[in-house]
Every structure is written in C-alpha cells, then in structure tokens.
Structure 1
C-alpha cells in the first residue's frame, strides 16, 4: 500500500482559518463528500465519535483522525494543512497544523491498520513535515506526500 493508493489529489487542501476541532471535522466531511462521494454528515459523525474515545493528536503538530464507516468501500485519506495551528488535545499539548484523516470500511481490518501505520511513518519524517509546512498549494502538498514512496522504492 502506498499513499497514492489512498489519497486523491483533490482530497488535499490548505485551510487559512479553522477555529475548532468540530469545524475541522466539518471541513474534513465536506472534503470527503467532494472527493469520495460520502455523506459529509456521516463522515463528521464518525470522526467525532472516534475522537470522543481519545484524541488523535499524535504530537509534533500532527493529528491522525480516523474512523470506520459502513458507507466506505475502500480505505481513503484526506489531508489538511492548517495555516493557523489548532488546539487538538495532542499528546504533547502542541497545536496541530498537519491533519491526515483516514476513513475505512467497517470490515477493513488489517488494511485500516496498514494505512494508519503508513501515514504515521510518513509524517514522522521531519523533512517531509517541513516541506508540507512550507507549501500552501494543494497539488504541491499531494506531490510531497505521494513522492515519498518513489524515493523509498529506489
């Protein structure tokens, strides 16, 4: 599995202003609806339900919200770069500016975990995060995220 398998170019966005975690989930829901055809409301509810189990802010300014949904046919990703970092109750108490959300079918099992591990590994790379933070253009952000696999394969 590679990021290009789960992240469409039109599922990547830079947002100038996001005032709350709830608003962020709303933005992710709208992005899922336009990029993957899922109900924005269903995505928002699934992400909020999972977040209520425990915050998905993993530290270093990164959040990995994720959820399983019966409507999802495959594992897919959504990426948001926030120009203004947002309090996300992260483990290191630092605000979040890079958000990679994953949506998976309810029965995804191992594929969901593999995708989560792939995203986590990618965003642990400080040079990738620095490039993501230095760029605002959605196409450039997508290229940065998906170019990793071609350099690792070489």
Structure 2
C-alpha cells in the first residue's frame, strides 16, 4: 500500500488554526466529503466516537484520527497541516500540527491496519515531519508524502 492508494492531492489542506478538536474534525470531514463524496456529518460523528476511546494524538505534534464508515469501498484519507498547533490531548501533551485523518470501510480488516502502519511509519520520520512543517503549499505537502512513501518502498 502507498499514499497514492489512500490519498488524493485535493485531500491535502493547510489550515491557519482551528478553535477546537470538533472544529478540526468538521474541517477534515468537509474535505473528505469534497474529495470522496462522503457524508461530512457521519464523519464528524465517527471521529468523535473514536476519540472517546482515547485521544488519537500520538505524540511529536502528530494526530491520526481515524474511523470506519458505512458506504466506503476502500481506505481513504485527508492530511491537514495546522499553521498554529493546537491541543489535541496527545499522549506526550504536545500540541498537534500534523493531522492525518484516515477512513476505512466497516469491513476493511487488514487494509485499515496497513494504512495506519503506512501513515505511522512515514510520520515517525523526523525529516519528513520537518519538511511537512516547513511548507505551506498543499501540492508540496502531497508531493512530500507520496515521494517519501515511494522512496521507502524502493
């Protein structure tokens, strides 16, 4: 699995700031709705439900909110870079500025886990995160993500 399998360039966005986690989830949901023809309200509800199990802020300024959704036939995602980091309840209590929303079909099984592993592995790379944080152009961010994954596969 590669980023190009789960992420389209239109699903990458830079947001100046978000007033709350719920507002950020709304922004992510609207982006997913526009890119993948999903129901934004259902996405927000699913992300909020998932978050009640524990925060998806994994540390180092990264959050991986994810949910399973009805009506999907493949794993899809949205990447958001926040210009102003926000509190996300991350495990290390650091504010989050790189947010990768991941959505999977209800019965995705191993594909959901493969996608989470791909995103996690890529965002653990400090050089990749530094590049993502130093750019504000959505197209450049998409290129960084897709090129990094391609070079890891080679």
TM-score over 0.5 for the alignment? yes
CA RMSD of aligned residues (A): 0.7
Residue number in structure 2 paired with 1:38: 38
- Give the corresponding residue for 1:19: 19
Deviation per CA, 1:58-117, whole angstroms, max 9, x where unpaired? 000000000001122210110000000010000000000000010000000110011001
CA distance in 2 between counterparts of 1:58 and 1:127 reads 17
The residue that corresponds to 1:120 in the other structure is: 120
Match of residue 69 from structure 1: 69
**How high is the TM-score relative to the length of structure 1?**
0.98
Mapped contact 2:2–2:150 kept (Cα < 8 A): no
Determine the C-alpha separation between the residues in 2 that align with 1:23 and 1:68: 20
Structure 2: gaps (5+ residues) = none
How many residue pairs match? The answer is: 154
Structure 1 stretches (4+) deviating beyond 4 angstroms? Answer: none
Q: Name the SS of the counterpart of 1:53 in structure 2.
A: coil
What is the CA–CA distance in structure 1 between the aligned matches of 2:53 and 2:79, rounded to whole Å? Answer: 21
